[in-house]
Amino acid sequence: MLSKLSRSLVACNIYVSAGGHPSHRDVLVGLLSETQELCRIANQSEKNNCPKSTDRGVVVVHAFRDGPYDRSSFHLAGSPDLVADVGSSLATRAVRALLQYDPMKDSDETIEKSIDSNPRRLYKTDSIGKRHPTVGLVDHVSVLPLVSNKSSINEDDLNIADIASSVARTIGENLESSGARVLYYGHAHPSGKDLAAVRRDETPFFNNDKLITVEANDSANTNVSTNRIHKPAGQATVGAPFRFVENYNIRLRPNVPKEVARTLTKSIRERGGQGLPFVEALTLVYGRDQYEIACNLLDPLVTPARKVEERMKEWECNQIQKHKEYESGLVQTTYRVGTTNDMCLESLQELFIEGGERAHNRQVLERLVNDFLHD
């Protein structure tokens, strides 16, 4: 499939289980810098071979680090074969770097000082686990089709979905060779099984109460780990959703209890029949006595972030009417975790502007470095 490319483009999000401690800075910045250099070399080769081409290239659109969740992500976009190569390199290098990472160098004294100086860092990353559910060192890889906004499905869309699946399979095979147990989903799965189902049936993602607040009766298959193959790098869910999936989080104020946070989750997510179409949502612990609603927008054309915000505001108004103690509001902030279809296309356009790639790479790198400096 990758040999039949024309003007197809894909995005690739790679989620790494690191970012919760200052010592992760060198690992993550190193991964980003090396990946940007691989992109630069690939793009230069494309320009030399096809100087008139304006539809070939690869770029790191965004790098995001979430300290309290001890999780980071790298977002690529470009020609499928180039994304497959660069994404495979990034994923396997991340596994090697984290397998070699020595948690003992983060002494209790160093960690406690970090906790004292930053109230957001409320846990010892390597001793009591992560606040975001995770199943492996490279926890999740999602390959997404980049297409113009459409309201209907056509043959070209199906073709790019197959291509995205091939990219996911390529990255998954490389992860397998690096010591991870890869679980495919979406178009990369033989029967099209979706991500949520794979996580419920084949991983402990929903079954670890230290990592996640699971709504009552939501966790399925409590015997999930009995037949699990243990590998050094853990599990990695790798797949290709049909549409570009956006990630959108709602962080509540510290005074909002878990049971109230759950009502927002239920009012947003599609599962259960009360929420919005094509929206998955989870209630996650964020810091001390604080919760966050993490949303996957499976089809932003049907349910964009704007509609999630509208539903959130309705919920907030209802809660304020019921409980006077929430008169000052329940929502602290809302934010995107990754990228959008348009952000990816805009970043690719910068490759064909004089000095555009260099300026874009510097901006992405500076944002990641500065995030650690603000701890």
Q: Give me the pLDDT at residue 375, please.
A: 64
pLDDT at 54: 60
Nearest to 136 by CA among 31, 221, 18: 18
Which pLDDT band, with edges at 50, 70 and 90, does 103 fall under? low
Give the whole-angstrom CA distance, residue 184 versus residue 198: 8
Q: Which residues contact 152 (CB under 8 A, 6 or more apart)?
A: none
48-84 pLDDT, tens digit each:
887 656 678 999 999 999 888 899 999 999 999 999 9
Q: Which CATH superfamily is domain 246-336 in?
A: Formiminotransferase, C-terminal subdomain (3.30.70.670)
Q: Which CATH number fits domain 2-242+340-373: 3.30.300.30, 3.30.460.80, 3.40.50.2000, 3.30.990.10?
A: 3.30.990.10
CB 284 within 8 A of CB 291: yes
Judged against a pLDDT cut of 80, whether residue 215 lies above it is answered with no
Contact 60, 83 (CB under 8 A): no
Please say if the pLDDT value at position 218 is more than 50.
Answer: no
Query: In 101-239, which ranges are continuous DSSP H helix?
Result: 108-117, 125-128, 155-177, 195-202
pLDDT tens-place string over residues 251-264: 999 989 999 999 99
- Within 10 A of 154 (CB to CB), how many other CB atoms are there? 9
- Reply yes or no on whether the pLDDT at 309 is more than 80: yes
Share of the chain above pLDDT 90, in %: 63
One DSSP character per residue, 36-103 reads HHHHHHHHHHHHHH-TT-SS--EEEEEEEEETTTTEEEEEEEE-HHHHHHHHHHHHHHHHHHHHH--G
User: 285 is written with which tokens?
Assistant: 């612990």
Task: Provide the CA 70 distance to its chain's centre, in angstroms.
Answer: 12
Segments making up each domain of the chain, as ranges:
2-242+340-373, 246-336
Query: What Cα–Cα distance (Å) separates residue 314 from each residue in 277, 307, 331?
Result: 17, 11, 12
Contact 303, 281 (CB under 8 A): no
Measured CA to CA, the distance from residue 156 to residue 159 in angstroms comes to 5
